[in-house]
Amino acid sequence: MKGKVAIITGSATGVGSAAAILLAKKGCNVVINYTRSEEEAKETAALAEEHGVEVLICQGDVSNDDDCQSMAKAAVDKWGRIDYLINNAGKTKFNAYSNLDGLSKDDFLDIYAVNVVGAYQMVRAVEPHMRKAGKGAIVNDSSLAGVTGIGSSIAYASSKAALNMMTKSLAHILGPEIRINSVAPGMIQTRWLKAGMSKEKYENMLEGSRKKLPLQEVATAEDVAETLVWFLEGAKLITGEVLIMDSGVHLGTLPAYSSGDE
């Protein structure tokens, strides 16, 4: 990856930040994108630069197509290439599923604008540059919610399901030069999740997950970043895939008779 260029949307904090730093460790120049978290973006940039790479910080909202085009242009103007894209920027509204009145039309449109349309606009912005180079890789940071339908809200789960299907649709036409895949994590230990629930509920969910999951481990931002980056640097014959990484949540509960209990 040395000397190559990656754009990571929503990379001031959490999974995006961890991915940017990991790519920097591997010698990749990175574009760090944020909407509001300027100080955190600068902190991530400083940590990336410690690995001897070059960094660009770009403020922009991926739901705005002009901002997506500006990010791609900034990367090409500085380095003359774009090799990798991680669509990590995400948005939700925490809302109980039973509260149908808790989600408005605007809530759906705002969430889809970032999680689906924003990802599409970023793909469109980098696609000609990756094709020109003859090779590129894109990975979308999705969610288990898009597979199971269970997440922070119905709007969020639906948007991630749309992102997963869009990944498959784009895989048909981006090849052979560009691979595109999605990673669908379950619960991740980040401030984003903490902000959406009480401290007690968060801790209970964390403890309960560790006890019940087949692998008895809840992902960190760094865990997810490793998988995202693997799809970029490896997986040369994989495209259109949605990879679940949830410590076995999607497997469901093992029936008593299957565990050998009488």
pTM greater than 0.85: yes
- The label of the residue with tokens 């401290």 reads 199
CATH of range 5-247; options 3.40.50.1970, 1.20.120.1200, 3.40.50.720, 3.20.20.300:
3.40.50.720
Position 218 confidence tier, pLDDT thresholds 50, 70, 90: confident
Average pLDDT over residues 226-253: 90
Catalytic residue among 97, 112, 156, 202: 156
The CB-side HSE value for 187 (13 A sphere, CA atoms) comes to: 21
Average pLDDT over residues 126-153: 96
In terms of average pLDDT, the best of 102-111, 145-154, 200-209 is 102-111
DSSP-derived secondary structure letter, 104: -
Is the pLDDT at 256 greater than 60? The verdict is no
Compute the residue count for the chain: 262
The verdict on whether 156 is a catalytic residue reads yes
Is the pLDDT at 178 greater than 50? The verdict is yes
For residue range 45-85, what is the model confidence (pLDDT) as tens digits? 999 999 999 999 999 999 999 999 999 999 999 999 999 99
Position 261 confidence tier, pLDDT thresholds 50, 70, 90: very low
Is the pLDDT at 20 greater than 60? The verdict is yes
Is the pLDDT at 196 greater than 70? The verdict is no
Average pLDDT over residues 145-155: 94
Domain ranges of the chain: 5-247
Give the phi and the psi of residue 33 in degrees, each rounded to 5.
-115, 140
End-to-end CA distance of the chain: 54
Per the CB < 8 A criterion, the answer to whether 106 and 26 are in contact is no
Q: According to the model, what pLDDT value does residue 193 have?
A: 63
Is the pLDDT at 11 greater than 90? The verdict is yes
**Residue 143's closest CA among 228, 246, 214?**
246
